[in-house]
Structure 1
Amino acid sequence: MSRPASGPVPPPVRSASGGARPVEIVPDRRRGRGSLPPWWLVLVDVALLLVLGILCAWPLGEAYTGRRWLLAVVVGLALGIAVAWLAARWRWGPWSTALAAAAAYLLVGSAVAVPTRARGGYVPTADSLRDLVVGLVHAWREALTLPVPLGENGVVLIVPLVTGLLGGLVAALLLWRSRWPGLAGLVLGLVLVLASAFGDVAAQAALTRGLVVAVVGVVWLRWRSLRHVRARWGRRVLATLVVVGVAGGAATGLGALADPDANRVVLRDHVDPPFDPRDYPSPLAKFRAYKKEPIRTGTTLFTVDGLDSGTLVRFAVMDTYDGIVWNVSGGPGSAHDSGTFRRLRNDPDANARATVHGRITINDYTGVWVPSVGETLSMTPVRDGRTDGEAAGELVINRETGTVAQIGGVERGTTFEVEAIAPLDPVEEEISALDADGSVSLPPPAIVPEELVERVQRWRTEDGFSGGPGGLLAQFLRDSFREHGFYSDGIDDDVPAGHGASRLAVLAKTATPVGNAEQYAAAMALIGQRLGLPIRVVIGFKVPPGGEVRGENVTAWTEVKLKDAGWVPFDPTPPEDQKLRRPNDDPNEDPQPQVLQPPRVPGEPKEATDNLQQGDGQRKDLDVLAVLGTILGILLDVAKVVLLLSPLWGVLLFKLLRRRRRRRAGDATLRLTGAWHELADRVRDLGVRTTPGSTRRESAYAVAERYDAVPVVTLAHTADRHVYGEGEPSLEEARAYWADIDTALKRIRRATPWWRRLLARFSLASVPWRAGLARVRSALAGRVRRLGRWLLGRGPVVRLRALTRRKLTSRRRRPGAN
């Protein structure tokens, strides 16, 4: 029976009535050069690649400001698709395609990713090209470590540009130059995963975008692969919609059960940001330094315009206590309710919503903490009458606490134009009826002095306070500290500074507590957290008449979160005129300003300076772990380099190219015997040893002893029949034999342990490396011999001798020569 010329007959398709009807195949009428499909299909592919690529890359937009990231994605997709079309039309190899993509990236990237470094914003320069090359490595790190939202300066826009370029290039090449065009959908899925990983924790309409991408992608790729088959596409599309809808609903339900808050996991959550408040000294530890000359009265720290006298300008909010200092949280590992520092994004409606419009000009103040008021909606740094874009990109804010910081510190002469919402100021009667907001969870203090607990318990007994709402408790603590305490800056007496556990123990132990806002605010916040209040410490300045803020205007207070009122300020510090006239009111009690510290509390400095670097009390205990982590990181980096440069990848590449060469042999007999050689090499890598020079059948019997469920002997007979039988095998028979070999290899892999399969991939048993070394050695020896003959025969030495003889002969022939 003769073979059909057009390949195997497709199976019949059942019609709606139940009868079988043949599938009608429409011939492929592709025209033109290369392997491109028809022009109309190319246009469909380009349009869908652009649309689906933009939808998959959309999560990146949550991490950027503006819409320039979208331009970078679109341009990258267009460049990648254009390079893939040229490569398919002119049949470029992989190296030519890669070089064309690199040239397109360098040509267009200056105008898209780093326009500030290009001439006129478009023409590439040496600086812009350098940023594009270096940014291929640094942009990914900066996109994760810089606080979001990312701006449009620097090299961060290289991430969406390269993502679009590589995604469009690989997807289009798979569509137009691969036998597996369906893998283009996998590439788009990888773009979605990459964009989500480099995006932000918040994403709008993520489920809707995912369903649209899944439905359109599946229908498109399915129609593309079966476009020659005339079938009921309406029913196919409806079935696809139903399947994707059910899968999307199930994924949504499982995601809600796994994470009720629907929080996304992104890479930036696992990377330490560049701004960590624990890297800087506690702002409250510097309190005493502001009270000393010349900062106290002779130095203007900053000036304020547009704010009323008496307004509290906050520097920093501190809600974590380690036994030594109250410190700002918001770095890696902070509690969720403490918030995190992210790039300050100005509210576009700030001018309409704000109740405070002020200007703060920095003079002699230095530090990273930026003065702010209430809920900051907008903060714009201005220098020399113009907006300072670089400083604006370094502003970060913790929205939970309202603390604003500038990476690298503020600069003298910078004016911050602030638009904010002033905090509520409820009256005392309203506060006493409000409950504490139990939804806020702050990190518990490391140490609470027992003396402080006993002193507050004594006050409750004396005043007859039996408890009540959170607002009433906060009022009781504030009034108790103000009534029973005395004020002293410690400048003219020996009152110690600091607010460590030992200092607060002294404050509570003495019959006449003496201190300033640093100690009283720290003590009230500490005992308040012990009693269950959501309370924190704030340091700032009270604006004086005239707006020139000096060190004498520094103060500290506490804030308590109350229901329906937010964070309400409480000032527990006694009035400055409430001073202790005698050193001791009780002659039988001998309080000492310096006492022996408890064993659990480490020593603390008397006074904080500008260069004091204190953390949260945890990093010093983790020095050994940090060293071990550094060593493990170095070992891991070395292992990565060794793995990357390992010759084992060459073994895998050799086996892949060998299989590809065998499977694509032009001669049918060579292709068929190549299939048998592939099977023999695979089992040799798995440890099956055959006698050198054995026939196919003898080798097959050796394989069958280990893998008896695989018809290896039958495959050997089939190969012998096609090779030694009458006539030449056809390409269809060679392809069918390759399919049988693939099936046999799958059964062999299933019957082999996983670790043995892994070792077989890197085995050198089937690699003729000895013969290769012999060929290289013989080739080198031949070149050495030819070089030696050339040197001894017509080499430079012989030429020099001949030239010397010619010169001597010419001299002898001259008249008068001896």
Structure 2
Amino acid sequence: MERGGGAMRYAWVAAVLLVASVQLAQAWDGAVVYFGLAAALGFLALPLRRLVPAGLAGIGLMAVAMAGGYFAARGAVPGREPTHVLLDTVPRLLTAARPAPATPELLVPGLLLVFGVAVATVLSVAKQRTALFVPALGAAVLYVSAALLTAGRADRYGITALVLVVLLALGWLIIDRRGPVVPPAVLATVLAALTLLTIVLPANGFEPRKLVTPPVTNVAISNPLPRLAAWAAQGEAELFRMRGPEVPVRLVTLSRFSGASWEAASTYGPLGVVDPPDLPTGGKFQDASVDLTITGLDGEWLPGVGTPQSVSLSNAMVDPDTGSLVMADGLRTGLSYTVRGVLETPADTDLAEAAVPTDTRYTALPRLPFTLAEYARQATQNARTPYEKAVALEQVVRLNRRPDAEAPVGSSYARLETFLFGNPGESGAGAGTAEQFASAYAVLARAVGLPTRVVVGFQPVPDQGGERIVRAADATAWPEVYFTNWGWVAFDPVSGNGSGPSAASKREVLNRLASSTAKPTPTTPASVPPLVQPAAVNQENVAAPELRQGFPLWTLTPVLLLLALYLARTTRRVRLRAAGPVGAWNEVLDSLLLAGSRPHPSRTAPDVGRDWGAPGTELATMVDEAAFAPAPTRAEHSWQLARQVKKSVRRKASWWRKLLWAVDPRPLFRRR
């Protein structure tokens, strides 16, 4: 190999590896540099192979890389042997967020894959007589891995696949003029099929992470609602700092109400769990990413924004239904991380006629007192739509009631009745923290069939930019109502503002309902049954979430691979048939390889031909004549002889070799 040709070949390999590595790096957040470096380190095999055999060089480099991967990931799985630590990184990656945080234990499997492909590719092209097939195989492995880890989102339109096909074709046509073992058209077809699969599969519900059962952890964490009064008393105490857009920071979402208190979920898993929330995300939303640093906040709840999509902490866990984040080991001062979430942003016109789902756990009210149920009914009796009911209840809860940081805590039915109906002078009557305002709204909303939950979080004070300090006084709680097709919408019964519908939209509804002056009155408990269940929502306003199921097209992948191998073998037979007696003899040698009877390289063609009778002897004579004493080509006759020998060889083959005869890839790698 000439120096110029060698440099061109390695430059071509570097380009193929770079494109494929960047494609795979999209499965991680900000990991392009790491994967590019891993691909570059694969070229260490070149100087090493001059000292030791190529195979030993490859094994040595992979051993060093795996040792490095063990030391990088062992902190995530303490007290385990190296093999278990490395194997454990794969399910950890498959149950991480998408894209996965660029933490050591999550990067290890991807970096080892890129490094291994790079080493194998570099060592293969270092052989002067080796066709450039391994780079194509390595690029396909990295491409398919990226498609699996991103569910096809890494190359939605097949642009990267097209670039890889062009690079491979240039390498085969310009650098290696002998041509590849597999024709470019065949490999291009395979890559095109893979690209099509990565585009079609996600749309049909395919999710490769379902192949791994995510770990689930039971976490017993106290309800932070009663802490609102304590935080209000702390006032200016700093809890954490944040950089990013001015959006509410969520600490925990409470979805279960027992009648005595609100409860958070107790089962959490990695952020990448594939189970969707019980109520889908709305049709309009925006992404928000914030950087957070814990400075004084304690406990296990991890502040976030919206519905979390990714967190730069590999040990963060989430409740997929509510998006609440927890750290089982607890928060620590100085903990810094980035969280990216989705905030639902429906327009006022979207909510005006929106429906709500029915028969959800977000409307459950165990042993609801009649006083609360009747109060909610009176407050919404003139409302036409679920949105009008939600706006009316926000106004009703706020009227003639005041925030008081020193009011009694609690969100039980008894506490809420005192808050709503208590006599003047009674402790907690008409006064409460955000806990009572949000809880009263949520209970009344559920009583009229609105799916509702309570969020504990922070409303940071806006500033002119830069880093914002979130203090204890910023802690609050607010209710959210779910609208079909539009998701969870926040309401603010404390001030009537907040990040939900606009004030103009609410004012228009209130003017129409005149609910700002019509105050509902509680029914005397002695005159009615003590307990009732809330009435169901009018079915005209109900629209259940749609469930879509698609055919799992990933099951066709083995069929496509077998089809590709069959096409490759067919292409090879066509080329051999056009090569005359020499091609016919190579067809016989392919058959012997498939039957497990490959002759020793020292045996001559006539010697091998005599093993298969007159057809084999005649064909061997024709091959010798074509090689040493060229005679007129007798392509058809030589191919007929080859077919007779092939039948004899196949009859003596085992049943399982006959089963794989048409798709066995070994003849593709046999040099003629």
Asked if residue 78 in structure 1 is aligned to residue 46 in structure 2, the reply is no
Q: Could you tell me which residue of structure 1 aligns to residue 669 of structure 2? A: none
- Counterpart residue identity of residue 557, structure 1: P
Q: Which amino acid aligns with 2:118?
A: G
Secondary structure of 1:538's aligned partner? strand
| Aligned counterpart for 1:476 among listed residues 366, 388, 392 | 392
Partner of 2:480: 558
After superposition, the C-alpha distances for 1:446-502 in whole angstroms (9 at most, x for unaligned) are 77459769988855764573434554221123345567999999x999x99599xxx
CA distance in 2, matches of 1:202, 1:313: 29
* Matched AA of 2:392: F
> Would the alpha carbon gap of residues 101 and 563 (structure 1) be closer, same or farther in structure 2, given more than 3 Å must change?
closer
SS at match of 1:362: coil
2:599 is equivalent to residue 662 of structure 1: yes
Conserved 8 A contact 2:373-2:447: no
Q: 1:49 maps to what in 2?
A: 13
Give 5+ residue unaligned stretches, structure 2.
75-79, 282-286, 430-434, 462-468, 497-521, 535-591, 630-637, 664-672
Q: Hey, what's the Cα distance between the residues in 1 that align with 2:18 and 2:194?
A: 23
Does 1:410 pair with 2:336? no
Could you tell me which amino acid in structure 2 is paired with residue 316 of structure 1?
A: V
Q: Does 1:303 align with 2:268?
A: no
1:145–1:425 Cα change, 3 Å: closer
Q: Which residue of the other structure, out of 139, 142, 149, is the alignment partner of 1:191?
A: 142
* Residue in 2 that maps onto 1:103: 60
* Structure 1 CA distance for aligned equivalents of residues 645 and 256 of structure 2: 63
C-alpha distance in structure 2 between counterparts of 1:159 and 1:279, whole Å = 28
The letter of the residue matching 2:389 is L
Matches for 1:741-760 after TM superposition, within 5 Å: 743-744=646-647, 757=659
What SS does the aligned partner of 1:435 have? Answer: helix
SS of alignment partner, residue 315 of structure 1: strand
Query: In the TM superposition, what is the alpha-carbon distance from 1:52 to its structure 2 partner?
Result: 1.3
1:26-41 aligned at under 5 Å gives the runs 37-41=1-5
Give the Å deviation of 1:435: 1.9
Is 1:361–2:311 an aligned residue pair?
no
1:718 maps to what in 2? 615
How do residues 342-741 of structure 1 correspond to structure 2 at under 5 angstroms?
Answer: 361-362=295-296, 365-367=298-300, 369-371=301-303, 394=315, 403-406=324-327, 408-411=329-332, 413-414=333-334, 435=351, 444-445=360-361, 448=364, 462=378, 465-468=381-384, 471-480=387-396, 497=412, 516=436, 519-520=439-440, 522-524=442-444, 526-527=446-447, 530-531=449-450, 535-540=452-457, 549=472, 555=477, 557-558=479-480, 567-571=489-493, 585-587=524-526, 591=530, 659=596, 662-668=599-605, 671-672=608-609, 676=611, 715-719=612-616, 740=643
* Residues 116 and 170 of structure 1: CA distance in aligned 2, closer, same or farther (over 3 Å): closer
For 1:664, the aligned partner's letter is P
**By how many angstroms is 1:143 displaced?**
3.0
Tell me the CA shift for residue 262 of structure 1. 5.6
Distance 2:594 2:128 in 1: 18
| Counterpart Cα distance in 1 of 2:295 and 2:378 | 48
- Name the count of aligned residue pairs: 529
Residue 296 and residue 461 in structure 1: after superposition, are their counterparts in 2 closer, same or farther (change >3 A)?
Answer: closer
Deviations 1:331-390 (A, max 9, x none): 541238657xxxxx995xx79xxxxxx975335x321x12457899999xxxxxxxxxxx
Letter in 2 for 1:569: F
The within-5 A match list for 1:250-399 is 258=200, 267-268=208-209, 270-273=211-214, 279-281=218-220, 284=223, 287=225, 290=227, 303-304=238-239, 314-318=250-254, 325=263, 327=265, 331-335=273-277, 361-362=295-296, 365-367=298-300, 369-371=301-303, 394=315
User: Equivalent residue of 2:599, what SS?
Assistant: helix
The answer on whether the counterparts of 2:371 and 2:525 sit within 8 Å (CA) in structure 1 is no
Matching residue's letter, 2:252: A
The residue aligned with 2:113 is 163
Return the letter of the residue paired with 1:477. L
- Match for 1:662: what amino acid? P
**2:361 partner SS:** coil
* Structure 2 match to 1:210: 161
Q: Is the 8 A contact 1:282 1:325 kept in 2?
A: no
Residue type at the aligned position of 2:212: V
Q: 1:226 to 1:361 in 2, by over 3 A?
A: closer
Contact 1:315 1:403 in 2 (8 A): yes
Partner of 1:147: 97
Deviation at 1:267, TM superposition (A): 4.0
Q: Shift of residue 213 of structure 1?
A: 0.9
- Find the residue that maps to 1:317 and give its secondary structure: strand
Go from structure 1 to structure 2 and tell me whether the alpha carbon gap of 1:485 and 1:48 turns closer, same or farther (over 3 Å shift): same
Q: Is the 8 A contact 1:197 1:267 kept in 2?
A: yes
Among all aligned residue pairs of Structure 1 and Structure 2, give the percentage whose two residues are the same amino acid: 14
**Are 1:137 and 2:93 an aligned pair?**
no
Shift of 1:212: 1.3
Cα distance change on mapping 1:166 and 1:730 into 2, 3 Å: farther
Task: Report the Cα offset of residue 108 of structure 1.
Answer: 7.1
Match of 1:69 among 30, 34, 38: 34
SS of alignment partner, residue 251 of structure 2: strand
Aligned residue type for 1:194: S
Change (3 A) 1:746 1:561: farther
Contact 1:215–1:244 (CA<8 Å) still a contact in 2?
Answer: no
Mark the CA change 1:511 to 1:540 in structure 2 (over 3 Å): closer, same or farther: same
Please give the alpha-carbon distance, in whole angstroms, between the structure 2 residues aligned to 1:449 and 1:134: 47
Partner amino acid, structure 1, of 2:167: V
2:362 touches 2:453 (CA, 8 Å); kept in 1? Answer: no
TM-score for both structures, normalised by structure 2: 0.55
Structure 1: gaps of 5 or more residues:
1-36, 118-129, 230-235, 340-344, 352-357, 380-390, 575-582, 599-654, 677-714, 762-818
104 and 312 in structure 1: CA distance in 2 versus 1, 3 angstrom threshold? closer
Per the TM alignment, residue 211 of structure 1 is displaced from its structure 2 partner at its CA by: 0.7
Q: Give secondary structure in 1 for the equivalent of 2:154.
A: coil
Distance 1:226 1:439 in 2: 66
Q: Provide the secondary structure at the position in 2 that maps to 1:162.
A: helix
Correspondence for 1:774: none
Structure 2 counterpart SS, 1:334: coil
The CA distance in 2 between the partners of 1:434 and 1:305, in whole Å, is 35
**Residues 200, 266 of structure 1: 8 Å contact kept:** yes
Partner of 2:491: helix, strand, or coil? strand
Whole-angstrom distance in 2 between the partners of 1:321 and 1:732: 92
Alpha-carbon shift at residue 210 of structure 1 (Å): 0.8
